[in-house]
C-alpha cells in the first residue's frame, strides 16, 4: 500500500536532558537542562533558516515536547501545534511509525515539511527506514537529519548535521 508522503522530513533528536541518574523522575518526565535548551535554540534557529516545518511531531516525553516547543518558537509560528505520538518513544518501531503515517495521510500535503522530534534508538531507526537501509546511524542530541522521501521505505538523505556543525553556521 502506498502512503502519500510530505515533501521533507526533519529528524531531530531531543536536546540534552537531565540525566536519568540525577533525576528522581520517571524517564518520560525528564526535562531539558538549561544548557540543552540553549544549545537546541542555537541549532534550531539555524535549521529554520533553511527548512520551515509545517507540522511538528514528537513523543509525549517532556524532553521531546520541550525541544519541539523550542522549534516552534524559532519558526515564529505560534499557531503550529505539537502532535504527540507514542510511536516516537525510544522503543518505537518502524511498523508503528508506518501505521501512524497511514493515519496521518488524509492530512498530509505534498508540500509539507514534517519535523519529527524523538529519541535514540528509535529516531535513527526511523531515519534509516526512510532511506531504505537497515543499519541505523545515531543522531547526536539536538542533531538533525533531513530526508526527501521517495517512498515509505526509500528516500534521499539531504543533510545529516550534528549540533556542533549547525552552531558553527552563521
Q: Across residues 99-115, what is the average pLDDT? A: 89
In the chain, what percentage of residues exceed pLDDT 90? Answer: 64
Residue 140 pLDDT: 95
Residue 2 pLDDT: 58
Residue 63 pLDDT: 96
Question: pTM for this one?
Answer: 0.93
121-166: per-residue pLDDT in tens?
Answer: 999 999 999 998 988 889 999 999 999 988 777 889 999 988 888 8
- Say which CATH class 8-168 falls into: alpha beta
Q: How many CB atoms lie within 10 A of CB 120?
A: 16
Residue 3 pLDDT: 66
Per-residue b or e along 82-115, where b marks 16 or more CB atoms closer than 10 Å to that residue's CB = bebbebbbeebebebbbebbeebeeebeeebbbb
Question: Using CA atoms, how far apart are residues 29 and 26, in angstroms rounded to an integer?
Answer: 5
44-81: per-residue pLDDT in tens?
Answer: 999 999 999 999 999 999 999 999 999 999 999 878 89
Average pLDDT, the chain: 90
Percentages helix, strand, coil for the chain (3-state, rounded to 5) are 40, 20, 40
pLDDT of 9 > 70? The answer is yes
CB proximity list for 159: less than 8 A, separation 6 or greater: 144, 145, 146
Q: What are the residue ranges spanned by the domains of the chain?
A: 8-168
Alpha-carbon distance values, 4 to 1, 11, 80, 97, 115 (Å): 10, 18, 21, 14, 16
- The cell numbers describing 59, all together, are 513523543
Asked if 146 and 158 touch (Cβ cutoff 8 Å), the reply is yes
| Least trusted range by pLDDT, from 1-5, 9-13, 38-42, 47-51 | 1-5
Amino acid at each position: 500500500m502506498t502512503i502519500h508522503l510530505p515533501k521533507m522530513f526533519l529528524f531531530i533528536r531531543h536536546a540534552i536532558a537531565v540525566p536519568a541518574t540525577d533525576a528522581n523522575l520517571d524517564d518520560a518526565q525528564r526535562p531539558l537542562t538549561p544548557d540543552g535548551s540553549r544549545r537546541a535554540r542555537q541549532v534550531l534557529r539555524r535549521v529554520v533558516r533553511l527548512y520551515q516545518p509545517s507540522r511538528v511531531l514528537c513523543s509525549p516525553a517532556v524532553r521531546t515536547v520541550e525541544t519541539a516547543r523550542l522549534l516552534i518558537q524559532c519558526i515564529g509560528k505560534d499557531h503550529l501545534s505539537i502532535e504527540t505520538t507514542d510511536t516516537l518513544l525510544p522503543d518505537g518501531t518502524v511498523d508503528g511509525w508506518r501505521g501512524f503515517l497511514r493515519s496521518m495521510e488524509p492530512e498530509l500535503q505534498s508540500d509539507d515539511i514534517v519535523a519529527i522530534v524523538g529519541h535514540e534508538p528509535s529516531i535513527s531507526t526511523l531515519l534509516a527506514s526512510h532511506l531504505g537501509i537497515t543499519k541505523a546511524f545515531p543522531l547526536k542530541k539536538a542533531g538533525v537529519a533531513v530526508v526527501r522521501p521517495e517512498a515509505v521505505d526509500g528516500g534521499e538523505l539531504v543533510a545529516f548535521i550534528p549540533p556542533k556543525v549547525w552552531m558553527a553556521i552563521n
